[in-house]
Amino acid sequence: MHSHEVNTQSQSYHAIVGFDILKESLYKFISGTKHDKLFLLVDENVFQHHGDNLIQTLQNFSDHVLHLIIPEGESSKSVKFWEKAVSFLLSNGVRRNTPLFVAGGGVTGDLGGFVAASVLRGIPLIHIPTTLLAMVDSSIGGKTGINHQTGKNLIGAFYQPRAVIADTRFLISLPQREWVNGLSEILKYGAIRDAEIFDNAAVFFSKDYHSLDQEKLITLIHKCIKIKAEIVAQDEFESGVRAFLNFGHTFAHALEKACDFNTISHGEAVYLGMLAALKLSDLCGYSITGQYIEPYKPLYQFRVKPGEVLSEDIYSYMFQDKKRTDEHLKFVLLEDWQSPVVKTVINKEHIKEAIDLMIIQLN
């Protein structure tokens, strides 16, 4: 079991990673005392595979474990499901010290995090990430939120959890496609911070993800958690270095919107967004190619075809990005590998060229 302390201004907490560690971690880090009641928000697929285990484990800490199943998919990150979850908690007598456990990928995590942030102005939140992406990225750092029809993650709050328990046992049931989604964020850490990650990520070329060496996998997840924790500790509210974690994301979010948050996953969009950001870096005069990212392309199986998205749409959706502070678009570019920089780009043709490169990759 590896444990890493995440220190932010608003909260310090442990992020723990290991195989079959849920019960042990809960005993160690949550509390010895029995709670009057506990709430669990759980992704529907996670519930199907691991629901009994989750509930039985939580019953060690309370006689009343109440759970709500969240339908899988990005559309659950919505006002509708936020309202549903909030009503579930309030109508079942949630109090300010009642812990909320959130078990699932980034979708359930982002939604559940925002529920925890907003109910009674904040209740204790414990993330149990169950996708690779959520383990290496979304469960750490306190970004919570839901989507609005005008764009992604437009409603939300910074709200740190009390603990993150990344038990790789959950990954046993993770579909192939979801492993690759997690890979995108792992490659992002390689690009912006740590070249060694590219060596570690090479295990993904084996394609048989379920038989990945557990120790190697846990070490890789731990490395990513450490990077994210370091960046978040420096800049919890994204006024500086935290923006580097958005490498590829301005392109990715616009592409996701162009696909109605439906035919492309966040991880797939991030992968393509990074290729676009590398192209734009090159067009802006930094001498860089996609050499460390491109080799992974055969692992991605895109369900959307190039003719199904319009370059113009993607360009205009970028202007809805919430990180935009003036009339120009800002991008995280790479001056060199592991040397990210935030740049305002005003050359529309350069941006369009990068978008077109992203679209061609869908073939």
Q: Is 238 part of the annotated catalytic residue set?
A: yes
| Residue among 4, 246, 256, 279 flagged as catalytic | 246
Cβ distance to ligand NAD smaller for residue 171 or 201 = 171
Q: Per-residue string for binding with ligand NAD, 51-90, x by CB under 6 A?
A: ---------------------x-x--x-------------
The distance of closest approach from Cβ of residue 152 to ligand NAD in the complex, given in angstroms and rounded to an integer, is 6
| Residue among 193, 228, 257, 279 flagged as catalytic | 228
Other Cβ atoms within 10 Å of 117 Cβ, number? 19
Which residue is it, tokens 């740049």?
343
Among 107, 126, 231, 288, binds ligand NAD (CB under 6 A): 107
Q: Per-residue string for binding with ligand NAD, 204-233, x by CB under 6 A?
A: ------------------------------
Contact between 313 and ligand NAD by CB under 6 A: the answer reads: no
The distance of closest approach from Cβ of residue 306 to ligand NAD in the complex, given in angstroms and rounded to an integer, is 23
Q: How far apart are CA 42 and CA 103, in angstroms?
A: 5
Which residue's CB atom is positioned nearest to ligand NAD?
106
Contact between 269 and ligand NAD by CB under 6 A: the answer reads: no
Angle at alpha carbon of residue 309, lines to 335 and 255, rounded to 5°? 40
- Contact at 8 Å (CB) between 68 and 85? yes
- Contact at 8 Å (CB) between 200 and 51? no
Q: How far apart are CA 297 and CA 301, in angstroms?
A: 8
Contact between 293 and ligand NAD by CB under 6 A: the answer reads: no
Q: Count of residues binding ligand NAD (CB under 6 A)? A: 31
Q: How far apart are CA 278 and CA 248, in angstroms?
A: 8
Q: How far apart are CA 82 and CA 107, in angstroms?
A: 12
Which residue is it, tokens 């995108």?
184
Q: Is 253 part of the annotated catalytic residue set?
A: yes
Q: What one-character-per-residue DSSP string does 86-132 give?
A: HHHHHHTT--TT--EEEEESHHHHHHHHHHHHHGGG---EEEEE-SH
Q: Which of residues 158-197 bind ligand NAD (CB under 6 A)?
A: 170-171, 173-175, 178, 181
Contact between 268 and ligand NAD by CB under 6 A: the answer reads: no
Contact between 49 and ligand NAD by CB under 6 A: the answer reads: yes
- Contact at 8 Å (CB) between 126 and 115? no
Q: Is 121 part of the annotated catalytic residue set?
A: yes
The distance of closest approach from Cβ of residue 127 to ligand NAD in the complex, given in angstroms and rounded to an integer, is 10
Contact between 236 and ligand NAD by CB under 6 A: the answer reads: no
Angle at alpha carbon of residue 190, lines to 347 and 19, rounded to 5°? 140
Residue 355's SS3 state is helix
Site residues for ligand NAD per CB under 6 A: 43, 45-46, 49, 72, 74, 77, 104-108, 110, 130-131, 133-134, 137-138, 141, 143, 153, 170-171, 173-175, 178, 181, 266-267
Task: Indicate which residues carry an active-site annotation.
Answer: 121, 143, 185, 228, 238, 242, 246, 249, 253, 266
